Chains A and B, each alone.
Chain A
Amino acid sequence: MSEANTGPHFDIHGNAVKLELGPDEKARAREKIVDVLWSIQQKKGWIDDESLKAAAVECMLSPQEADEVATFYNLLFRRPVGKRVVFVCDSISCELTGSAMLMQNLCSELNVKPGEITEDGELTVLPIVCLGHCERAPCLLAGETVHGPLTADREAMRELVAKIRTRKDAG
């Protein structure tokens, strides 16, 4: 919630808003659950049982309620992954421009199957639904950076993987 939600609050007519009709403390705590789980994942790489319980307490939820959320969303992991996850879009625009070949090349370059962790513990490759960068298809998301349009060229793939490993791909 924004700060304005907790301070004095006036509607467009200048009347004080009856904030007591809005969310209570519990509802506000619950709203944060995805962000809390995400920040745990940023630190630990994934959400283990202990962290999940802590997140549940912070958001005034039962561990089961927190786990419902943790297991539902695509970007939250309940099992270990590499330090960085490379998401390869496999939806229609990328598919039409060669995402299958891209996924194949990336996996053979890293010697993993989708979902596995590379030997050095650095990377995991996962398929993901449309990344919303269809004019750059086929594309992938590494960290916070989208790369595309990519080609089936193995040399270019090798260079990209090297950049992703060393986190020199941001921009």
Chain B
Amino acid sequence: MTQVLLAARGKNGAPASLDEYRAADGYQALERALKDMKPADLVQMAKDSGLRGRGGAGFPSGMKWSFVATGEKADGGPKYLVVNADEMEPGTFKDRVMIERNPHILIEGILLAAYGMEMTDGFVFIRREYFKQADILERAIAEARAAGILGSSVMGRKWTFDIMVHRSGGRYICGEETALLNAFEGRKAQPRAKPPFPAVRGLWGRPTTVHNVETLGCVPGIVRNGAAWFKGLARNPEGAGTKLYGGSGALERPMCIERPIGTTLRELMAEMGGVKGGKKLLGVIPGGASTAFLTPEHLDVPLDFDPVARVGSRLGTGTFIVFSEDDCPVHGTLNLQRFFARESCGFCTPCRDGLPYGVSILERIENGAGSMQDLEWLDHLYRTIGPNSFCALAAGAAEPVKGLYQHFRPILEEHVKLGRCPFPKRAAREVAHA
């Protein structure tokens, strides 16, 4: 069993302390980097490792690091590393688990990335509902400060670096990196136009890199054991590293586990006890609300960025949501669309007005009042919203609808033909949303 991100263990399920993290080889990578490596070496190592962003987009991390001006090209002012711990993608809970169990790996990852990009300050943007997790992180930061790992002289060097935790007011859009920067600055969390990209003008107009929690958690292992080792962790040839996979929904034992990236849905679901109550599997949403459905025929697809993309969906956050044969995918999609419509920041029209319209059509279909014309119109609507909205939120919202049409078109048509939802749980749901 490969445990890298969750290797350090605290006593009785408590977060791993500084000593416990050190016992699991923690902070060795930082020592080594500060002693033997130049910042550019770290960037090269991140590139060679094949690390891709774990927040959902899968952008190559080394390339992201190389966008930040360093050395002579930089102007000598502040540069910021911002950690996105907003984690509000429905079905996603992996970053929370990493922070709860191994907070120091995030701190070491921040320091290494900051060293590579010559950053001057670190910030963690965390959703306020993660009260306990923010406290855990602040305690770990205080521990690191007391040990001279953070603060006025990092590991005894003439380098000032500290990490501040910023608690959000709570909105899904804060997870979008430029909206996050606006939220951080005390504004409405509405996305910014790109370019300029955050690497050029980010937080307070300064060069900024925004990284997901799990992505940074991968960095200490890469620096300690090398890029080749990291690549070798993966189950599929094109993959790199381990992944925090989460399973929820109609599962016997929903949980988050660390496994080599490229592990299949079949294997992960077996570890989680299979579909709840021994029911048949209808399908899964593989990586949070903004990814398209997969079906039982995809059980053996390696859960890595490219293999999942090849079958028409996205790995997303790698936390999958299971639908059993009793769960209506139209109702599930309606739930997701209610979420997206509610959380739209309201800045651009296709998203603000289009998503609630999509909800109204889906409601009609799910309640048995839909027509075949509605089916065409709904499909058309989401194809229009995605490419015409300002940020990726609405494009993400279109993904599950795309999957619904791709894999469950007969179920959609059955709703229209029968004039009702053909799935069993309907009564309780109707009452609740009335």
B90 at the A interface (CB under 8 A): yes
Interface size on B, residues (CB 8 A): 79
Minimum CB–CB distance for A8 against chain B, Å = 7
B350 at the A interface (CB under 8 A): no
- Which residues from chain A contact B186 at a C-beta distance below 8 Å? 30-34, 59, 61, 69
Interface size on A, residues (CB 8 A): 64
Complex CA gap A170/B343 in Å reads 29
CB-based closest 3 A-B pairs = A73-B169, A21-B77, A100-B432
A10-B158, A92-B321 known; 10 new pairs, CB 8 Å cut-off, are A12-B114, A33-B186, A68-B188, A93-B248, A96-B321, A104-B432, A129-B172, A130-B89, A134-B249, A136-B254
| 8 Å CB interface, B314-347 against A | 319, 321-323, 327, 332, 335-336, 338-339, 342-343, 345
Q: Which residue of A lies closest to B343 (CB)?
A: A129
Minimum CB–CB distance for B89 against chain A, Å = 7
Asked if residues A129 and B120 are in contact (CB atoms below 8 Å), the reply is: no
Asked if residues A2 and B162 are in contact (CB atoms below 8 Å), the reply is: yes
Asked if residues B171 and A72 are in contact (CB atoms below 8 Å), the reply is: yes
- Which residues from chain A contact B256 at a C-beta distance below 8 Å? 135
Complex CA gap A18/B159 in Å reads 14
Complex CA gap A144/B432 in Å reads 26
Complex CA gap A18/B319 in Å reads 42
Q: Counting chain B CB atoms within 10 Å of each CB, which of A72, A73, A90, A104 scores highest?
A: A72
Q: Which residue of B lies closest to A59 (CB)?
A: B186
- Which residues from chain B contact A7 at a C-beta distance below 8 Å? 152, 160
B197 at the A interface (CB under 8 A): no
- Can you list 27 residue pairs at the A/B interface with Cβ under 8 Å? A4-B121, A5-B121, A7-B152, A9-B160, A10-B159, A11-B76, A11-B159, A14-B157, A14-B159, A15-B76, A34-B168, A34-B169, A73-B168, A91-B335, A92-B249, A92-B335, A93-B321, A101-B432, A129-B342, A130-B289, A132-B130, A133-B96, A134-B93, A134-B246, A134-B254, A135-B248, A135-B255
Minimum CB–CB distance for A96 against chain B, Å = 4
Asked if residues A100 and B429 are in contact (CB atoms below 8 Å), the reply is: yes
Asked if residues A35 and B115 are in contact (CB atoms below 8 Å), the reply is: no
- Which residues from chain B contact A22 at a C-beta distance below 8 Å? 77-78, 204, 206
Q: Which residue of B lies closest to A13 (CB)?
A: B118
Q: Which residue of A lies closest to B187 (CB)?
A: A69
Complex CA gap A37/B121 in Å reads 25
Complex CA gap A104/B432 in Å reads 6
Q: Which residue of A lies closest to B429 (CB)?
A: A100
- Which residues from chain A contact B158 at a C-beta distance below 8 Å? 10, 14
| 8 Å CB interface, A19-37 against B | 19-23, 27, 30-35, 37
